[in-house]
Amino acid sequence: MFESFYGFTQTPFARDIPTEQLYSSIMLEETLGRLEYAASRQLFAVVTGDCGTGKTTTIRRFKDMLDSARFHVMYLADSKLTPRHFYKGLLEQLGAESKFYRGDAKRQLHREVELMRGIHRLQIVVIIDEAHLLDREMLEEVRFLLNFKMDAQSPMALILVYFWTLYLSCNNGDLDTFDDELFEGKPHSGDSFVAVPPPAAQPADHEVIGGRDV
- Residues forming the site for Mg ion (CB under 5 A): 55-56
Residue 207 half-sphere exposure, CB side, CA atoms within 13 Å?
Answer: 13
Nearest-approach distance from CB 190 to ligand ATP, in angstroms:
11
Q: How many helices (H) and strands (E) does the chain have?
A: 7, 5
Nearer of residues 9 and 100 to ligand ATP, judged by Cβ: 9
Neighbours of 188 (CB within 10 A): 9
Q: Is 56 in the site for ligand ATP (CB under 6 A)?
A: yes
Pairing mode of beta strands 44-49, 192-195: antiparallel
* Beta-bridge mates of residue 159: 45, 127
What Rg, from alpha-carbon coordinates, does the chain have?
18
User: Which partner from the list Mg ion, ligand ATP, none does 86 bind, CB cut-off 5 to 8 Å by kind?
Assistant: none
Among 31, 39, 43, 54, binds ligand ATP (CB under 6 A): 54
163 near ligand ATP, judged by CB under 6 A: yes
| Candidate ranges 34-42, 52-60, 100-108, 142-150; the one touching ligand ATP (CB under 6 A) | 52-60
Query: Which residue, 27 or 122, has its beta carbon nearer to ligand ATP?
Result: 27
Which one, of 46, 53, 44, lies nearest residue 25 by Cα?
53
Choose the binding region for ligand ATP from 53-61, 68-76, 90-98, 110-118 (rule: CB under 6 A). 53-61
Binding of residue 167 to ligand ATP (CB under 6 A): no
CA dist 29 and 10 (Å) reads: 23
Nearest-angstrom CA–CA distance, 55 and 72: 20
Question: What are the residues binding ligand ATP (CB under 6 A)?
Answer: 13-15, 17, 22-23, 28, 49, 51-57, 163
